[in-house]
């Protein structure tokens, strides 16, 4: 593994260590913990914070296990556990801009367990096609700007915000270059390595991340993997990273991940903030554009839906099948899944649903299911070629 | 040229050797501990001895089953899902739905006319409705596993059984006994509930006919009866329902040697039609399903058969 990849993997594996080290090397600066998935981090960056999307950790839930009900998703229960164990004390403040009930439950636990740490809320409207939506989003963005300024104790300089937007756009553009190259088979990085690229972006200082990506692209990435492998698209997981052993397992079963719509994947990097608009207006527009580029089941939009997006993405990448990674008890995903399934049945795309949890995935059973999907696709292709 | 398929399941090891036409030369089922290496070695040694084929004369060895990666010297592996589909397509051409229930897991597999998997669903980590579950049931009812069929088929299945967890079911059964429920009724009701659970898997892949049941639980007349009743259709059971995976693996090995990909396969060596389970209570004298004595039952919805090679 080359040096930039190694460093990005290191940060992705232990975000807390990066945060602690960053604070030591930046005395007087604050770290803002952000909950997924629509908070405009550029605002925090421009206000002088290090914005960090708080990640699920690897520890078994213990102290916080009883705080949230069993039917909360693994990510939110793990956030509660981290809060109960004091693991989130490394953050100076928290910001939330989404209305997922489970995520708000985790935010409540964070507030309860660390009453001295300010937590700021916004709530973007989920109904994207109403006449009033644009105005409401703009108003909410103004509200969030106010909250960030309140947290920072100083107004956000518009020119600095424009610079932050340019920096974040650069990071997203570089990441998209790598994702596009993978989709087109020009490079080969494992699913875990691709996740490292995005996860580290959610944690690191953006300028540092951009520098590492540029170094990685300059040094070059190994050429495409075996074309004989079954090509799969990974779909789902809106808030937290799928476990890397699961990604490794998929590849170990003879598949090659060619594209995804994961939050720790294309969903996070797909949309740039327009640089030709007033920055606040541009961030409001970004909120709409994101849901067009990779639609989210938590949003309702008449002219954009996830199933159509997924169908197009599979066509574009030439994926032979889809693995849907669904966080157990993720209600928006559970509710939309029948639509995805219907679409995949209609286009005769083989698919597999894997329900994930924070602890205790039955890996050998999952291996059998993934291998069966791979065998199903490859045997059908072989027979079709012979007929 | 011979090939061998080895199915290392959670509680049994199965080995099948086929000749160059796909006909079964020898097969062996060995009961064992959990995913036992000793069990799989015994199955392989037995089947080699029975067939008279030397290990070195086998073209390929294909491993399948939960422990497929533990099978020594396997040429390659396939999942039991692919192998059951392949094996059933050979044993019973035209089958559309395979329900495989083994010691620790259960699967519904929809297959096409070539034995290719169209869709599948399997239990996650819950042993509900698997062989393990019936072990628990027999223990709680203080009867031998081999007596459970007669007990369940003699009972009325109208008790409410809410828990399908293999662990909690025992508690619930004890509670039903304490309430004074008759063991036969409990056995029947639990079987009905297990069949309903299996229908959940079937619903994931879509109902289709004809239906073939495989795996160790297919030896249970009661399990097959209640499944057929729940499905509202006939359920066929191969003569040796535990070897379909190993047989499919051996056929996949043969395909890999012969370069053929559209072979339906060679069916089992002899035709057999199950004649037991008739309303008059007559036994079947030629298959394992019919060897046990049992009470006459209403089998309107159920027949069991082994399909031989139906090709012209």
Which domains are present in chain B?
Answer: 1-78+243-269 (3.30.420.40), 93-237+271-312 (3.30.420.40)
The reply to whether residue B116 touches residue A379, judged by beta carbons under 8 angstroms, is: yes
Alpha helices in A225-330 (DSSP H): 244-252, 266-269, 279-293, 306-317
Q: Please give, rounded to a whole number of angstroms, the shortest distance from the CA of A249 to a CA of chain B.
A: 14
CA quadruple A127, A132, A134, A138: dihedral positive or negative? Answer: negative
The reply to whether residue B116 touches residue A387, judged by beta carbons under 8 angstroms, is: no
Pairing of strands B58-64, B2-8: parallel
| HEC assignment per residue over chain B | CEEEEEEECCCEEEEEEECCCCCEEEEEEEECCCCCHHHHHHHHHHHHHHHCCCHHHEEEEEEECCCHHHCCCCCEECCHHHHHHHHHHHHCCCCCEEEEECCCCEEEEEECCCCCEEEEEECCCCCCCCHHHHHHHHHHCCCCHHHHHHHHHHCCCCCCCCCCCHHHHHHHHHHHHHCCCCHHHHHHHHHHHHHHHHHHHHHHHCCCCCEEEECHHHHCHHHHHHHHHHHCCCEECCCCCCCHHHHHHHHHHHHHHHCCCCCCCCCCCCCEECCCCCCCCCCCCCCHHHHCCCCCCCCCCCCCEECCCCCC
CATH fold of A225-386, please?
A: Rossmann fold (3.40.50)
**Of the options 3.30.70.3040, 3.40.50.720, 3.40.50.11890, 3.40.630.30, the CATH number for the domain spanning A3-160:** 3.40.50.11890
The confidence band for A105, taking pLDDT boundaries of 50, 70 and 90, is very high
Q: What is the pLDDT of residue B74?
A: 93
Question: Which pLDDT tens digit goes with each residue over B269-288?
Answer: 323 333 333 333 334 343 34
The confidence band for B264, taking pLDDT boundaries of 50, 70 and 90, is very low
Specify the domain boundaries for CATH 3.40.50.11900 within chain A: 225-386
The confidence band for B246, taking pLDDT boundaries of 50, 70 and 90, is very high
Q: Does residue A90 or residue B301 have the better pLDDT?
A: A90
> Phi, psi at residue B15, to the nearest 5°?
-135, 140
B80 and chain A: CB distance < 8 Å anywhere?
yes
Q: What is the mean pLDDT of residues A128-133?
A: 93
Specify the domain boundaries for CATH 3.40.50.11890 within chain A: 3-160
A342 and chain B: CB distance < 8 Å anywhere?
no
Q: What is the mean pLDDT of residues B299-307?
A: 26
Q: Assess whether pLDDT exceeds 60 at residue A299.
A: yes
Q: Give chain B's mean pLDDT.
A: 79
| HEC assignment per residue over A177-207 | HHHHHHHCCCCCCCHHHHHHHHHHHHHCCHH
B7 and chain A: CB distance < 8 Å anywhere?
no
The confidence band for A225, taking pLDDT boundaries of 50, 70 and 90, is low
The reply to whether residue A383 touches residue B116, judged by beta carbons under 8 angstroms, is: yes
Q: Give chain A's mean pLDDT.
A: 94
The reply to whether residue B261 touches residue A379, judged by beta carbons under 8 angstroms, is: yes
Q: What is the pLDDT of residue B276?
A: 33
| Percent of chain A residues past pLDDT 90, beyond the cut | 88
The H or E element spanning position A121 is strand A119-121
Question: Which pLDDT tens digit goes with each residue over B211-225?
Answer: 999 998 998 889 999
Q: Please tell me which of the candidates B82, B105, B124 has its beta carbon nearest to residue A379.
A: B82
Question: Which pLDDT tens digit goes with each residue over A226-243?
Answer: 667 899 999 999 999 999
Q: Please tell me which of the candidates B116, B125, B261 has its beta carbon nearest to residue A365.
A: B125
The closest alpha carbon to B55, from B65, B45, B64, belongs to B45
- What is chain B's alpha carbon radius of gyration, rounded to the nearest angstrom? 19
Three-class secondary structure of residue A383 per DSSP: helix
The closest alpha carbon to A50, from A19, A84, A82, A21, belongs to A19
Q: Assess whether pLDDT exceeds 60 at residue B300.
A: no
Burial class of residue A322, CB neighbours in 10 A (0-12, 13-18, 19+): buried
Question: Which pLDDT tens digit goes with each residue over B162-207?
Answer: 666 666 677 888 888 888 999 999 999 888 888 888 998 999 999 9
Instruction: Sort out which chain A residues have CB atoms less than 8 A from B82's CB and list them.
Output: 372, 375-376, 379
Three-class secondary structure of residue A308 per DSSP: helix
The confidence band for A96, taking pLDDT boundaries of 50, 70 and 90, is very high
Strand order in the sheet with B24-31: B24-31, B12-18, B2-8, B58-64, B76-77
B79 and chain A: CB distance < 8 Å anywhere?
yes
The token duo for B17 is 């050797």
Instruction: Sort out which chain B residues have CB atoms less than 8 A from A368's CB and list them.
Output: 66, 79-81, 122
Q: What is the mean pLDDT of residues B13-33?
A: 89
């Amino acid at each position: 593994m080359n040096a930039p990849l190694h460093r990005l993997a290191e940060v992705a594996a232990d975000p807390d260590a990066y945060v602690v080290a960053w604070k030591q090397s930046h005395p007087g600066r604050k770290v803002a913990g952000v909950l997924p998935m629509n908070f405009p981090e550029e605002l925090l960056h421009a206000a002088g914070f290090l914005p960090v999307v708080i990640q699920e950790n690897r520890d078994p839930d213990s102290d916080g296990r009883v705080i949230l009900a069993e039917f909360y998703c693994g990510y939110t229960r793990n956030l509660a556990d981290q809060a109960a164990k004091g693991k989130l004390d490394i953050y100076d403040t928290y910001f939330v801009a989404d209305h997922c009930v489970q995520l708000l439950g985790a935010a409540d636990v964070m507030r309860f367990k660390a009453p001295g740490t300010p937590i700021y809320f916004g709530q973007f409207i989920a109904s994207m096609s109403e006449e009033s939506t644009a105005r409401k989003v703009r108003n909410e963005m103004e509200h969030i700007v106010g909250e960030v300024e309140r947290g920072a104790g100083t107004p956000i300089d518009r020119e600095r915000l424009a610079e932050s937007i340019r920096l974040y756009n650069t990071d997203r553009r570089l990441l998209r270059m790598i994702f596009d190259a993978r989709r087109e088979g020009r490079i080969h990085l494992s699913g875990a390595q691709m996740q490292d690229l995005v996860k580290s972006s959610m944690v690191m200082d953006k300028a540092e991340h951009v520098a590492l990506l540029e170094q990685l692209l300059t040094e070059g990435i190994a050429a495409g993997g075996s074309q004989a492998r079954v090509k799969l698209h990974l779909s789902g997981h809106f808030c937290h990273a799928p476990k890397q052993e699961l990604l490794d397992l998929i590849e170990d079963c003879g598949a090659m991940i060619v594209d995804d719509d994961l939050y720790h994947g294309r969903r996070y990097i797909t949309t740039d903030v327009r640089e030709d608009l007033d920055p606040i207006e541009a961030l409001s527009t970004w909120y709409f554009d994101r849901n067009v580029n990779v639609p989210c089941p938590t949003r309702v939009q008449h002219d954009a839906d996830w199933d159509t997006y997924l169908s197009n993405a599979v066509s574009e990448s030439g994926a032979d099948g889809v693995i849907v990674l669904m966080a157990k008890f993720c209600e928006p995903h559970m509710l939309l899944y029948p639509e995805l399934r219907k679409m995949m049945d209609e286009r005769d795309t083989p698919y597999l649903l894997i329900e994930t949890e924070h602890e205790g995935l039955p890996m050998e059973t999952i291996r059998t299911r993934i291998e069966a999907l791979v065998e199903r696709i490859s045997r059908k292709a072989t027979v079709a070629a012979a007929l | 040229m011979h090939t061998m398929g080895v199915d290392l399941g959670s509680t049994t090891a199965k080995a099948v050797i086929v000749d160059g036409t796909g006909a079964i030369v020898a097969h062996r089922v060995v009961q064992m501990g959990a995913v036992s290496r000793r069990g799989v070695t015994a199955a392989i040694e037995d089947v080699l001895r029975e067939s008279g084929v030397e290990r070195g004369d086998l073209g390929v060895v294909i491993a399948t089953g939960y422990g497929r990666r533990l099978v020594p010297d396997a040429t390659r592996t396939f999942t039991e899902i692919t192998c059951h589909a392949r094996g059933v397509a050979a044993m019973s051409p035209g089958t559309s739905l395979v329900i495989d229930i083994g010691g620790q897991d259960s699967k519904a597999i929809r297959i096409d006319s070539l034995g290719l998997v169209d869709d599948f669903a399997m239990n996650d980590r819950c042993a509900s409705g698997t062989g393990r579950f019936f072990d628990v049931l027999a223990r709680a009812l203080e009867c031998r596993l081999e007596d459970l069929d007669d007990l369940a088929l003699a009972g009325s299945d109208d008790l409410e059984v809410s828990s399908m967890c293999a662990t909690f079911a025992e508690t619930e059964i004890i509670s039903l006994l304490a309430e004074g429920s008759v063991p036969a009724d409990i056995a029947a009701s639990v079987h009905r509930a297990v069949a309903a659970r299996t229908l959940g898997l079937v619903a994931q892949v879509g109902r289709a006919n004809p239906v073939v049941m495989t795996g160790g639980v297919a030896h249970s007349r009661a399990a097959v009866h209640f499944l057929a009743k729940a499905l509202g259709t006939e359920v066929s059971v191969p003569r040796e329902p535990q070897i379909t995976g190993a047989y499919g693996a051996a056929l996949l090995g043969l395909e890999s040697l012969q370069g053929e990909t559209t072979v339906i396969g060679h069916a089992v060596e002899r035709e057999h039609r199950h004649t037991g389970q008739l309303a008059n209570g007559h036994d079947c004298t030629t298959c394992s399903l019919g060897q046990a004595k049992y009470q006459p039952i209403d089998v309107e919805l159920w027949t069991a058969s082994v399909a031989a090679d139906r090709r012209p």
